[in-house]
């Protein structure tokens, strides 16, 4: 028995499924961050990146890590600074650059967000046993090298 359907159809279905799944999870995370912490996913992403870099990151490094535009990061950082979650630090030797890092309060706040976040993901993806999750991650990893920016 031959299958008349081209592979492209299966790939298209996979893409639509991938999109639906990730958008669904994202929507749930957004909602919970908003309701339970008056926060947002972009703020969470920025703080997570800064958490992994105690010493701080330049604005351009941050936008590189998060793969978003410079101007975008400027705006999010502005609001995080207003809320005393993040502080700007001058870079000695280069007056064009600024480093940003979490404040003490920012670290404390993020720890709470991160704990809740991990629990939410654990709940939303509980259909996957650890082995299945690892296998799926590996499968998805293979796409990575395909995507060029």
Nearest approach, Cβ of residue 102 and its own copies (Å): 20
CA separation for the pair 149, 142 (Å, rounded): 16
In the numeric block, which tokens belong to residue 20?
A: 């639906």
According to the binding rule CB under 7 A, does residue 147 interact with DNA?
no
Nearest approach, Cβ of residue 70 and DNA (Å): 3
Name the residues that contact its own copies, by CB under 8 A: 3, 5, 7-15, 17-28, 31, 67, 118-119, 121-134, 136-137, 139-149
Candidates 105, 114, 141; CA nearest to 29 is 114
CA separation for the pair 17, 24 (Å, rounded): 10
Part of the chain binding DNA (CB under 7 A), chosen from 7-15, 90-98, 113-121, 133-141: 90-98
Query: Which residues are CB-neighbours of 116 under 8 A, at least 6 positions away?
Result: 32, 36, 37
In the numeric block, which tokens belong to residue 64?
A: 């590189």
Q: Which does 42 bind (CB under 5 to 8 A by kind): its own copies, DNA, none?
A: DNA
Nearest approach, Cβ of residue 120 and DNA (Å): 16
Q: Which does 122 bind (CB under 5 to 8 A by kind): DNA, its own copies, none?
A: its own copies
What is the CA angle 75-100-92, rounded to 5?
125
Q: Which residues bind DNA (CB under 7 A)?
A: 27, 31, 34, 40-43, 58-61, 67-77, 79, 91, 93-99
């Amino acid at each position: 028995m031959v299958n008349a359907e081209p592979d492209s159809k299966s790939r298209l279905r996979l893409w639509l499924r991938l999109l639906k799944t990730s958008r669904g999870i994202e929507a749930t995370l957004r909602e919970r961050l908003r309701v339970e912490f008056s926060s947002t996913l972009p703020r969470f992403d920025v703080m997570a990146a800064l958490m992994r870099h105690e010493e701080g990151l330049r604005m351009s490094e941050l936008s590189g890590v998060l793969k978003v535009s410079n101007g975008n990061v400027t705006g999010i950082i502005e609001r995080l600074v207003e809320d005393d979650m993040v502080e700007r630090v001058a870079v000695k030797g280069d007056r064009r650059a600024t480093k940003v890092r979490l404040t003490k309060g920012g670290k404390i706040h993020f720890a709470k967000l991160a704990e809740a976040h991990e629990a939410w993901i654990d709940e939303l993806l509980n259909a996957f046993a650890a082995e299945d999750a690892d296998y799926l991650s590996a499968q998805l990893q293979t796409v990575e090298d395909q995507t060029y920016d």
